[in-house]
């Protein structure tokens, strides 16, 4: 793939939550964003990613995953069936996820943990990077990740999306080969911890995202404005030119999108 005219890549988006025609229009009309990494939600949603990928093979990167919001709501047999589908679908996508742990959502019988471990096993088996969604449970998530010897040895393991934690926590993910993806939260004054973190984090470990639309009820894509705003914010916070920050983020995305060595070819 040629990356010459790389603009900004939205490292975490759900433009496929929009109706197909509208998502197509978004992709055609964006002035600042030229690529989208989509986060997986549930099996039905994977199909809408596939449709967009077919239309825009060089602009859309797909994933398959059962979102932690979904996992706790599934009955045992439904979860088992969805994980079977995931196994089948995973050879045909760029990333595995979203997966992880979210303290604000149902987690009967530790279903989130069970699903998370299965996603990791699949990502290792198919040699694909992971998209992590971790809210309020970083310690447990890091324990699960660190227990996977093969994962610890890989140099690029994916990204943790919508990160808002401390610099100390961020360092653990970086050590494990994850990029820290920061979203529009950093633009808000009350996200003090995140604002402190982004001052300390090496630029080589950062990517940025709109997480837009973040659920099915939102009808617009905000990333074309949000991503330049994040760059402006970082430029001021880090006292570096916007150009330098943008260029480094482009480099990071290129590394992230480089297939993991020995990746099973689609
Ligand atoms: Zn998401």
Cα 223 to ligand 1 centre (Å): 13
Cα 98 to ligand 1 centre (Å): 7
Residues 238-262: pLDDT tens digits? Answer: 999 999 999 999 999 999 998 776 6
User: What DSSP string describes 16-67?
Assistant: GGS-HHHHHHHHHH-SSEEEEEEPP--HHHHHHHHHHHHH-TTTEE-EE---
SS3 175: helix
| All structural domains of the chain | 8-257 (3.20.20.140)
Cα 74 to ligand 1 centre (Å): 19
Cα 265 to ligand 1 centre (Å): 26
Task: Give 181's strand partners.
Answer: 207
User: Residues with beta carbon < 5 A to ion ligand 1?
Assistant: 39
- Residue 109's region, left for phi above 0, alpha for psi from -120 to 50, else beta, is left
Residues 104-123: pLDDT tens digits? Answer: 999 999 999 999 999 999 99
pTM: 0.94
Are 42 and 115 in contact by the 8 Å Cβ rule? The answer is no
Residues 29-65: pLDDT tens digits? Answer: 999 999 999 999 999 999 999 999 999 999 999 999 9
Rounded-to-integer distance, Cα 117 and Cα 123, Å: 10
Where are the extended beta strands (E) located within the chain? Answer: 8-13, 33-38, 60-61, 63-64, 95-102, 130-135, 158-160, 178-182, 206-208
């Amino acid at each position: 793939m040629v990356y010459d005219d790389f603009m900004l890549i939205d490292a975490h988006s759900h433009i496929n939550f929009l109706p197909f025609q509208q998502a197509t229009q978004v992709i055609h009309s964006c002035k600042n964003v030229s690529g989208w990494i989509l986060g997986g939600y549930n099996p039905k949603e994977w199909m809408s990613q596939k449709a967009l990928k077919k239309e825009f093979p060089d602009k859309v990167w797909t994933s398959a995953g059962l979102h932690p919001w979904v996992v706790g709501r599934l009955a045992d047999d439904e979860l088992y069936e969805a994980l079977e589908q995931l196994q089948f679908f995973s050879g045909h996508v760029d990333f595995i996820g979203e997966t992880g742990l979210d303290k604000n959502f149902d987690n009967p019988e530790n279903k989130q943990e069970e699903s998370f471990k299965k996603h990791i096993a699949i990502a290792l088996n198919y040699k694909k990077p992971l998209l992590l969604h971790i809210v309020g449970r970083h310690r447990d998530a890091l324990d699960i990740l660190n227990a996977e010897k093969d994962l610890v040895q890989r140099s690029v393991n994916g990204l943790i999306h919508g990160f808002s934690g401390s610099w100390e926590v961020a360092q653990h993910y970086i050590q494990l080969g994850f990029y820290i993806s920061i979203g529009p939260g950093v633009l808000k004054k009350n996200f003090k911890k995140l604002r402190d973190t982004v001052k300390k984090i090496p630029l080589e470990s950062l990517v940025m995202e709109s997480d837009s639309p973040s659920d099915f009820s939102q009808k617009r894509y905000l990333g074309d404005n949000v991503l330049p705003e994040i760059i402006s914010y970082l430029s001021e916070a880090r006292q570096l030119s916007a150009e330098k920050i943008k260029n480094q983020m482009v480099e990071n995305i290129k590394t992230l999108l480089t297939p993991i060595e020995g990746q099973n070819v689609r």
